[in-house]
Structure 1
Amino acid sequence: MDRQRLLSGTHHDPHAVLGAHADPGGTAFVVLRPYARAVALLTGERRVELNDAGDGFFSGVLPLDAMPEYRLCVTYDGSDVAYEDPYRFLPALGELDLHLIGEGRHEELWKALGAHVMTHQGVPGTRFTVWAPHARGVRVCGDFCRWDGAAYPMRSLGSTGVWELFVPGIGEGALYKFDITRPDGTRTLRADPMARRTEVPSATGSVVAESSHVWADAEWMAHRADRPVCQAPFSAYEVHLASWRPGLSYRRLAVQLTDYVRDAGFTHVELLPVAEYPFSGSWGYQVTGFYAPTARLGTPDDFKYLVDTLHQAGIGVILDWVPAHFPKDDWALAAFDGEHLYEPADPRRAEHPDWGTLTFDYGRKEVRNFLVANATYWCEEFHIDGLRADAVASMLYLDYSREDGQWAPNESGGRENLDAVAFLQEMNATVYRRCPGVFTIAEESTAWDGVTRATHDTGRDGLGGLGFGMKWNMGWMHDSLEYIKRDPVHRKYHHNEMTFSMVYAYSENYVLPISHDEVVHGKGSLVSKMPGDWWQQRASHRAYLGFMWAHPGKQLLFMGQEFAQGAEWAESHGPDWWLLDPAYPAEPDHRGVLQLVRDLNHEYRSAPALWERDTDPAGFSWIAADAAEDNVLAFLRFATDGTPLLAVCNFSPVVRHAYPLGVPDAAMVWREALNTDLACYGGGDVRNPGPLKSEPETAHGRPDCLRVTLPPLATVWLRPA
């Protein structure tokens, strides 16, 4: 029976049969080497031929009282190959690891599961471990055995569902998969869910990885927690690495992307998902290798080099992270061991209707552990500074994109996915506890209460906050884009779309996103959304950026929009860099917008009023919120020490001379700090050239009045002289 189970790949304890075992005649040896012509035992200086027992089994008994150290010499078609016997080794995974895995509390799961190069019992090799609790048997196979796992059955370790095998002589770069026998006896070949490196898609193999990168960002890491992110300057450049400049590897990006972002003045880059994904058209949002940076651009160490280089330049790195769903590829996570493992068994919860994918079973402790550990993995192993969780709303609601009858309520009869809430709370609490200075961001498109509230604060709903550090402000994005795309003559009827965001601006800690989602699928680029001729479009584009950088909240801008690219983004070609070529006739149009973004970031960093009190209502005050007829918005921002910055936006195409603005201090002299209409940006160069002093005249309910020239379709920032 043991023989048949080993041959069929359904033996849960091959080490009980294979290897060396005490025998009445001494020590018995059993070896399984399919396709071998002969197998000899090498112990000391002795060579003992084992008997061919058929079906690839070789056996023999030596009159030895103690278990010897030995090697195998296997003959294939006349050539001899020497091996260490994998079945003479004790388990290479400790009892504490197994206990934590069983509890769903292994916060360093990537160190326990997957493929790990190590020296075990004095012999170098690789430990393979995989969680497959429903499997009747698991074998590891790869290029080291011509993808036939018959000689490498794994053992089941207790009741945890973990299978393990230490394979001597296997090292970095080896390709492998797991050959799993399902409960119904059929077999499936699966990539390692915990693989830290993969083949380049469309190949689907996992790769044994060992890091040799030496980090040089100690200063960055030591100080990134000095100031809470909500009280620090934060303007992020969102990048799809594969198309930013197509053909660049991680290491070439480390040079070119770092130089570009540093020159443009952004504080952070936010990377569209880097975890391995099979379909390029998903932009990385359908992940199959949650622990492996995509091999399209290089190795995991190459990706570390990119992060390291950005850090040394003073630039933080945010990673888009996708815990909401995964694709159905039959070599990846779906029905991994023949049963619903990572996905719920109930199809009403498992199917993600928007993307044809599967959702995670957040109620299963091992699945929660897989995802929570994954979040900390990127932060600890790759020094990532922030995680932006994608599609959080689709996780929170059981009826998300589902019609009546297509979803089942929770135990209280509600539509909230309580398991997903608990998972997000655990993830955030773990990341903030383990990784000082790291922050999390939620892409959450509903009015869920307490996305950025602490997990211990129950609030109105009694569920507790989700614990994110920040949340994308989708309402601001939608409303402001709806306003700015209208012809100026109609904007006065939609003035509230620019002011409404301040009603809820302090309900969460917000990021203002103009992301990839807003410049694809027929939506047009940011500049192409603007009405009017090309001059007016660029002017509105610049004015909008000036408004965005002055509004409470942090900024995020997708690549290409920083130089007013006119075409939509496509992952096949990326930004139109030729627009910045000095030889291009319209070059000032685009280089001017890029210069504005540089100056926005420079002035923003130098003005604590724009970032110190982003989450404090006392850091903001309207001056003109109701000037709808003029298409004018004016407001004050205040630093912690009270230093103000005055932002004025004129979204009409006419110059407004000596426009009255109520200000709080008659003795204060103001100077123009930024003007989006300057000629160097491509504007008409209407300015306030000298110092401006207020007069004792009532305006906007204030006792003093400052008269400012407002350029057409422009934003002006004024600071105390």
Structure 2
Amino acid sequence: MSVDPASHLQIPEADLVRLRNCNHHDPHGFYGWHQLAQGSVVRTRQIGAEKVELLLDGTSVEMVNLGDDIFAAELETRETLDYRLRITWPGLAPQIKADPYFFLPTLGELDIYLISEGRHERLWDVMGANTKTYETSLGTVKGTAFTVWAPNAIGAAVVGTFNGWNASQHPMRSMGGSGLWEVFIPGVGTGEVYKFAVQTKAGHRRDKADPMARAAELPPATGSIVVDSSYEWQDSQWLEQRASSDPANSPMSVYEVHLGSWRWGLNYEDLATELVDYVADLGYTHVEFMPVSEHPFGGSWGYQVSGYYAPTSRWGTPDQFRALVDAFHARGIGVIMDWVPAHFPKDDWALARFDGEALYEHPDWRRGEQKDWGTYVFDFGRNEVRNFLVANALYWIEEFHIDGLRVDAVASMLYLDYSREAGEWEPNIYGGRENLEAVQFLQEMNATLLRLHPGALTIAEESTSWPGVTAPTWDGGLGFSLKWNMGWMNDTLEYFSKDPIHRAFHHNELTFSLVYAFSERFVLPISHDEVVHGKGSLWTRMPGDTWNKAAGLRTLLAYMWAHPGKKLLFMGQEIGQPEEWSEAHGLPWDIVDGWQGEYHGAIRDLLRDLNNTYTSATALHTQDFQGEGFTWNKADDAANNILAFTRFGTDGSQMLCVFNLSGTTQQAYKLGVPAGGQWKLALNTDEGQFFGAGNELPSTLQASDTGWDGFPHALEVEIPAMSAQYYSWEG
């Protein structure tokens, strides 16, 4: 009976079966260099190779084919030596490679501890795909370290274009009870497409996109891409200024944009010129991008995210996205980004059931699914999931210099019974409907961002009366910088949609917002959600003929810019876009130049003047969140559809804001005012340049010393029909 001379080099059959099926927890225990009783052995698996040689310092050893594409070489020394592999595949020239199974784990013990505790604030530095360079005795080795969290998996491997998508070529090692899997692959660099082949307990292989991928293939392709950044930022002055700023007392007017449909066919590079010039020309202080994180379906507008760490490849590379942000900063414009931590889609190749079982999502369907949206809900109580999301918030601010995150669908996170029928939700430990784990996550996220990046913003889209959304976390609040004022939006749009002859019966819909205006730090939003799904556009909501629609929209914008709170307007509304918005085509820029262009262009001209007036007038923005910054001058004249109020700045400035929301001009309307002297006309929506009626109003008014409506002084003002005027107190 003959004995195989290489039998002592063989891998035990039980381990070989597991390696063959990619369900071994420790491939490094058999591949690479290992000591024997005498000497040592180097093993490697090279799929389809016809010859493999071990290259040492000055010598080479032909490796024995053990079967299963595994090659081995026996060495006399027990000393660990640096080596390379020279591999020959049929019909190809030999290739020299470093061995992935020669290298120690790229994750340190502290990294593993912090990840398990949910406190690794730079998670992207150690997970996903990170290029690395090692200096060894045989020279420099460049490659990529891959790490993935899959605690329910019985095996994991990196597959990609570099190994023919064969899971048995690069199996990963388990990092103990942490649920992490890791391998360093020499020769894999930027541009390589990859996924993780995850072997489930049920015996299935699931090829998954990297949850931490920095870039992804252009949809509908779903592979992850290894990337490095070589971008050199130019915005250090902007970041220094941001860190010392006080957003509460600063002007904030936001232009909300869907990058793909602002002007059809533009990419990040184009937008860095065209969009930046446009937003700067209109005088906005900020731009807000609808979600740019990678998403499989364009019709979701980015709100169903598959790649939380990857700017979508639809419009360019991550560095091109960095350059877009940098270009806005160079013009003094902040960048806000929609962020979606509430839920994620069920696509089989992404986060859903990542390792064969509920992992990122809550395992109980009553908490883990959002049936209205057909999505999964994150398990906010799990350390690693919470870490994934908190680190993601930090990632966008640190890696892309984003100035603020608008957090989508906060209400769906806060309430366990959100959009659920009886029996479809489980109470918390106290029997209530509050999602305590989600509250803790939001508080942690906000507190962490505030601690590490003072001046950066978090903005809640929260539509309920949850108390303390913008209260500090140390006082029991959620800790957001700002909150969208959905009540103001709904009431205001409902009022302006009424014919003027019916508005007297809806007067309280405009005045009610001031009952609660200072209970939170509010943003006044007219967002994309208000111009889709059959709601029409702002233009179509305005009653009357073309002239009255334009006048109504101008008055609405002037009212919005005068009301306490920061401002947000969705793209296209600044030109009175007639139809609903669709992501499938660009904005109708031709209407500005068409036969009704005078109306639509004039609305944009007014918007520019509103922004310039708003940012320069401290009375309109320095006390947005204090009752001392506001007083009614006329709140009860429902019969004439007249409203008037005064805004006060921290520097003692005052701005009287007057609105006639009827079809009848008031020639000499008497208003009480808090100060005597002259009041100068600062803005008039009825001017001819805005294609209003062109009524000539006095440039200044002199306040009388006769009291009126409880004020010590009074003005007589002409208020044209369907118009708004601002008057600045000159003393």
Q: What TM-score do the two structures reach when normalised by structure 1?
A: 0.98
Alignment of 1:601-640 (within 5 A): 601-640=611-650
Residue 10 of structure 2 corresponds to none
Residue 535 of structure 2 corresponds to 523
Residue 498 of structure 2 corresponds to 486
Question: Which moves more between the two structures, 677-686 or 310-319?
Answer: 677-686
Whether the 8 Å contact between 1:609 and 1:645 is mirrored in structure 2 is yes
Residue 709 of structure 1 corresponds to 718
Q: Deviations over 1:670-708 (max 9, x none)?
A: 111001111111111123223211223342222322000
Mapped pair 1:545 → 2:557: yes
Aligned partner (choices 157, 163, 170) of residue 139 of structure 1: 157
Residue 170 of structure 1 corresponds to 188
Residue 118 of structure 1 corresponds to 132
Mapped pair 1:16 → 2:25: no
Whether the 8 Å contact between 1:650 and 1:710 is mirrored in structure 2 is yes
Whether the 8 Å contact between 1:287 and 1:327 is mirrored in structure 2 is yes
Name the amino acid aligned to 2:697.
N
**Counterpart secondary structure, 1:222:** helix
Alignment of 1:37-56 (within 5 A): 37-56=50-69
Alignment of 1:142-541 (within 5 A): 142-457=160-475, 464-541=476-553
**Counterpart secondary structure, 1:456:** helix
How far the C-alpha of 1:513 sits from its partner, in A, is 0.2
Mapped pair 1:695 → 2:695: no
Whether the 8 Å contact between 2:256 and 2:568 is mirrored in structure 1 is yes
Aligned partner (choices 636, 652, 656) of residue 666 of structure 2: 656
Hey, what's the Cα distance between the residues in 2 that align with 1:687 and 1:600? 19
**Counterpart secondary structure, 2:216:** coil
Name the amino acid aligned to 1:593.
I
Residue 461 of structure 1 corresponds to none
Whether the 8 Å contact between 1:623 and 1:662 is mirrored in structure 2 is yes
Alignment of 1:672-683 (within 5 A): 672-683=681-692
Q: Deviations over 1:193-232 (max 9, x none)?
A: 0001111111100000100000001111110133311110
Mapped pair 1:65 → 2:75: no
Q: Deviations over 1:75-122 (max 9, x none)?
A: 211322221111111111111111111111001111110100111354
**Counterpart secondary structure, 2:633:** strand
Name the amino acid aligned to 2:591.
L
Hey, what's the Cα distance between the residues in 2 that align with 1:690 and 1:320? 42
Q: Deviations over 1:329-383 (max 9, x none)?
A: 0000011011110001101111102200000000101100000000010001100
Mapped pair 1:646 → 2:659: no
Whether the 8 Å contact between 1:477 and 1:512 is mirrored in structure 2 is yes
Identify unmatched segments of 5+ residues in structure 2.
1-13
Whether the 8 Å contact between 1:89 and 1:121 is mirrored in structure 2 is no
Whether the 8 Å contact between 1:266 and 1:315 is mirrored in structure 2 is yes
Hey, what's the Cα distance between the residues in 2 that align with 1:503 and 1:289? 41
Mapped pair 1:98 → 2:107: no
Residue 46 of structure 2 corresponds to 33
Whether the 8 Å contact between 2:105 and 2:183 is mirrored in structure 1 is yes
Hey, what's the Cα distance between the residues in 2 that align with 1:614 and 1:297? 36
Name the amino acid aligned to 1:180.
V
Name the amino acid aligned to 2:64.
N
Question: Which moves more between the two structures, 44-53 or 231-240?
Answer: 44-53
**Counterpart secondary structure, 2:42:** strand
Hey, what's the Cα distance between the residues in 2 that align with 1:665 and 1:593? 32
Name the amino acid aligned to 1:673.
A
Whether the 8 Å contact between 1:25 and 1:61 is mirrored in structure 2 is no
Q: Deviations over 1:250-303 (max 9, x none)?
A: 011000011000000000000000000000000000000000000000110000
Q: Deviations over 1:604-659 (max 9, x none)?
A: 01100010000110000001000100101000000012211000010001111011
Question: Which moves more between the two structures, 60-69 or 710-719?
Answer: 60-69
Hey, what's the Cα distance between the residues in 2 that align with 1:522 and 1:687? 39
Aligned partner (choices 75, 81, 93) of residue 88 of structure 2: 75
Hey, what's the Cα distance between the residues in 1 that align with 2:454 and 2:440? 22
* Number of equivalent positions: 712
**Counterpart secondary structure, 2:373:** coil
**Counterpart secondary structure, 1:247:** coil
Q: Deviations over 1:584-608 (max 9, x none)?
A: 2222111111000000000001100
Which ranges of 4 or more aligned residues in structure 1 deviate by more than 3 Å?
Answer: none
Name the amino acid aligned to 1:665.
A
Hey, what's the Cα distance between the residues in 1 that align with 2:171 and 2:78? 27
Whether the 8 Å contact between 2:36 and 2:78 is mirrored in structure 1 is no
**Counterpart secondary structure, 1:630:** coil
Q: Deviations over 1:118-139 (max 9, x none)?
A: 1135421100001111110100
Hey, what's the Cα distance between the residues in 1 that align with 2:365 and 2:580? 36
Q: Deviations over 1:33-54 (max 9, x none)?
A: 1222221111123222111111
Name the amino acid aligned to 2:77.
L
Name the amino acid aligned to 2:629.
G
Hey, what's the Cα distance between the residues in 2 that align with 1:260 and 1:354? 37
Q: Deviations over 1:560-603 (max 9, x none)?
A: 0011111110001131111223xx22221111110000000000
Name the amino acid aligned to 2:207.
L
Hey, what's the Cα distance between the residues in 2 that align with 1:683 and 1:575? 24
Whether the 8 Å contact between 2:491 and 2:509 is mirrored in structure 1 is yes
Question: Which moves more between the two structures, 29-38 or 614-623?
Answer: 29-38
**Counterpart secondary structure, 2:24:** coil
Whether the 8 Å contact between 2:54 and 2:73 is mirrored in structure 1 is no
Hey, what's the Cα distance between the residues in 1 that align with 2:188 and 2:231? 21
Q: Deviations over 1:128-155 (max 9, x none)?
A: 0011111101000111011112110001
Hey, what's the Cα distance between the residues in 2 that align with 1:690 and 1:216? 43
Hey, what's the Cα distance between the residues in 2 that align with 1:40 and 1:593? 74
Whether the 8 Å contact between 1:675 and 1:687 is mirrored in structure 2 is no
Whether the 8 Å contact between 2:142 and 2:187 is mirrored in structure 1 is yes
Whether the 8 Å contact between 2:618 and 2:651 is mirrored in structure 1 is no
Mapped pair 1:7 → 2:24: no
How far the C-alpha of 1:74 sits from its partner, in A, is 1.6
Q: Deviations over 1:470-526 (max 9, x none)?
A: 000000000001100000000000000000000000000000000000001111111
Name the amino acid aligned to 2:242.
R
CA RMSD of aligned residues (A): 1.0
Hey, what's the Cα distance between the residues in 1 that align with 2:269 and 2:592? 24
Residue 4 of structure 2 corresponds to none
Question: Which moves more between the two structures, 221-230 or 513-522?
Answer: 221-230
Name the amino acid aligned to 1:139.
A
Name the amino acid aligned to 1:440.
T
Provide the identity percentage: 55
Name the amino acid aligned to 2:76.
P
Hey, what's the Cα distance between the residues in 1 that align with 2:335 and 2:91? 55
Whether the 8 Å contact between 1:619 and 1:639 is mirrored in structure 2 is yes
